[in-house]
Amino acid sequence: MAHISFQGERYSASPGESVLDCLLRHGIALSHSCKSGVCQSCIVRATSGEIPAKAQSGLRDTLRAQGYALACSFIPESDVEIALIDTELLRTRAQIVGIDPLNASVMQLRVRPEKPIEHRAGQYMNLVRDDGLVRSYSIASVPDEDEDLCFHVALVADGRMSGWIHSGVARGATIEILGPVGNCFYVPGASEQPLFLAGTGTGLAPLFGIVRDALRRGHTGTVHLFHGSIRPEGLYLMDELRALAIQFPNLRYYPCALQGEAEGVSIVPVDQLSLKTVPKLNGHKVYLCGHPDFVRMMQRKTFLAGASLADIYADAFLPSPS
């Protein structure tokens, strides 16, 4: 049985139990959100002991070298000593400068960090409320083009963070942001490569950022953007994207919904529409964002349609366990 030393106490981890679960079980309120090794909000530092590779997956090399690790994916095989990290290094205070509806259930949140944060459109940030609640949101803004960091937040029934953003938070309030995280962003250097982007709901957020980033950087290859929703009312930014497609003729924008009726919106599932429109994805760079089931299905389907695994970037919007 492995032991975890933390703040002068020693705890026994059950077989297969993560550092996070063990400390939570002992009543220690360690910051966390997705518990899947994705959001990185449970980052700690191992000051002694072996760190399994999985616990450092997705971390920058500089953080790995210093023993930083994700407590949720850290299943100790032998005794380890864990320390809280200096969050100042990774967190930034930011002011909320805008909360504007994009449709009836999606709010655009604009935040202005106190100090510049190097980031790319399409990555995600962890928003940390003052009571410690943490949730990940994808970056819809483009550095150098948009003044503030923008997020699209869908209202989830009984959602603590999304409910607060939709109705509890005031312009001028401050919040902490932690990140950026993730590798779902435009990589310059292959400007003629065709891009295939598909998302559901607020999965449009990172795609909106990535598309504008690519076009701003002079991407000349065809950019296919598919956005799906249950009903047409769930779509948003349609006028902006149609205007962008006129400005950049290599952008093809396809809004679609499962049911209902609206001009210019195809009533067909986004996976069917996208793979019928672009049936062969050899040589494409693929970006998939939104509901986890959709992302998983599309990872499989785009691979079978010829995209190479290395060219498929995906962000599944995993909910946080209650």
Ligand X SMILES: Cc1cc2nc3c(=O)[nH]c(=O)nc-3n(C[C@H](O)[C@H](O)[C@H](O)COP(=O)(O)OP(=O)(O)OC[C@H]3O[C@@H](n4cnc5c(N)ncnc54)[C@H](O)[C@@H]3O)c2cc1C
Site for ligand X in 174-213 (CB under 6 A): 202, 205
Please identify which residue in 56, 92, 105, 162 interacts with ligand X, judged by CB under 6 A: 162
Site for ligand X in 112-131 (CB under 6 A): 124
Considering the complex, what minimum distance in angstroms separates the CB of residue 205 from ligand X? Answer: 4
Q: Does 287 bind ligand X (CB under 6 A)?
A: no
- Report d(CA 322, CA 318) in Å as an integer: 12
Q: How many residues bind ligand X (CB under 6 A)?
A: 27
Q: Does 158 bind ligand X (CB under 6 A)?
A: yes
Please identify which residue in 110, 119, 135, 284 interacts with ligand X, judged by CB under 6 A: 135
**Residue nearer to ligand X on the CB measure, 9 or 240:** 240
Span near ligand X by CB under 6 A; candidates 74-82, 148-156, 262-270, 279-287: 148-156
Cβ atoms 71, 44 nearer than 8 A: yes
Q: Does 104 bind ligand X (CB under 6 A)?
A: no
Site for ligand X in 64-103 (CB under 6 A): none
Considering the complex, what minimum distance in angstroms separates the CB of residue 15 from ligand X? Answer: 27
**Residue nearer to ligand X on the CB measure, 102 or 305:** 102
Cβ atoms 278, 298 nearer than 8 A: no
Assign residue 247 a region (left: φ > 0; alpha: ψ between -120 and 50; beta: otherwise).
alpha
Span near ligand X by CB under 6 A; candidates 63-71, 93-101, 218-226, 310-318: 310-318
Please identify which residue in 44, 153, 225, 237 interacts with ligand X, judged by CB under 6 A: 153
Q: Does 39 bind ligand X (CB under 6 A)?
A: yes
Considering the complex, what minimum distance in angstroms separates the CB of residue 272 from ligand X? Answer: 22
Q: Does 154 bind ligand X (CB under 6 A)?
A: yes
Considering the complex, what minimum distance in angstroms separates the CB of residue 122 from ligand X? Answer: 10
Please identify which residue in 169, 262, 268, 318 interacts with ligand X, judged by CB under 6 A: 318
Q: Does 107 bind ligand X (CB under 6 A)?
A: no
| Contact residues for ligand X, defined by CB under 6 A | 34, 38-39, 124, 135-138, 151-154, 156, 158-163, 202, 205, 315, 317-320, 322
